[in-house]
Amino acid sequence: MDFALSEEQEAIFRMAKGFGAAEIAPFALAWEKDGTIPRDLWPKLAAPWLWRTGG
Number of neighbours of residue 34 by Cβ within 10 angstroms: 10
Confidence at residue 10, expressed as pLDDT on a 0 to 100 scale? 92
Structure pTM? 0.74
State how far the Cα of 22 lies from the Cα of 14, in Å rounded to an integer: 12
First to last CA, the chain: 24
Whether the CB-CB separation of 50 and 19 falls below 8 Å is answered with yes
Distance, CA of 43 to CA of 23 (rounded, Å): 12
DSSP 23: I
Q: pLDDT tens, 24-45?
A: 999 999 999 999 999 999 888 8
